[in-house]
Amino acid sequence: MVDEDGEVTEGEVVDGLPVVTEAGVIEEPPSVGALSVPTVQAAALAATGFVAGACTVAVVKRHRTKKAAKKRKKSGPLGEIVGSNSFLIDVHLLKRS
């Protein structure tokens, strides 16, 4: 093994014995109705991924909408700017409340 300093050290020796079951005894995985557990797990994983993706799309869309609305809704100290023309100076048309 190589430690953090890049020096080669010996690995850890683990003492253990294998656990052997009785010959010929293999348990079937439990089933949920007519479906097996791996099928149910795959369906749950797919549904979770879909929901996470849909939430991400909704959050991004809301963020972009709020950002665009914030850009459009700028108002000056005298009122909302409804039009603008530029000459040598800026001329703004203001909506009176």
Q: What is the pLDDT of residues 50-94, one digit of tens each?
A: 999 999 999 999 998 888 777 766 655 666 777 776 656 667 788
**Amino acid 84: pLDDT:** 73
- 77 versus 96: the higher-pLDDT residue is 96
Residue 18 counted as domain residue? no
This prediction's pTM: 0.41
Residue 31 counted as domain residue? no
| Number of domains into which the chain is organized | 1
Residue 4 counted as domain residue? no
Proportion of the chain above pLDDT 90, given as a percent:
22
Distances from the Cα of 39 to the Cα of 8, 29, 78, 95, angstroms: 45, 11, 64, 63
CB atoms within 10 A of CB 20: 6
Residue 1 counted as domain residue? no
For the chain, helix, strand, coil in percent to 5 are 35, 20, 40
Residue 16 counted as domain residue? no
Range(s) of the domain holding residue 56: 36-94
Proportion of the chain above pLDDT 70, given as a percent:
72
* Bridging pattern class, strands 75-76 and 79-86: antiparallel
Residue 88 counted as domain residue? yes
Residue 62 counted as domain residue? yes
- 28 versus 45: the higher-pLDDT residue is 45
Residue 46 counted as domain residue? yes
Asked whether residue 34 carries a pLDDT value surpassing 80, the answer given is no
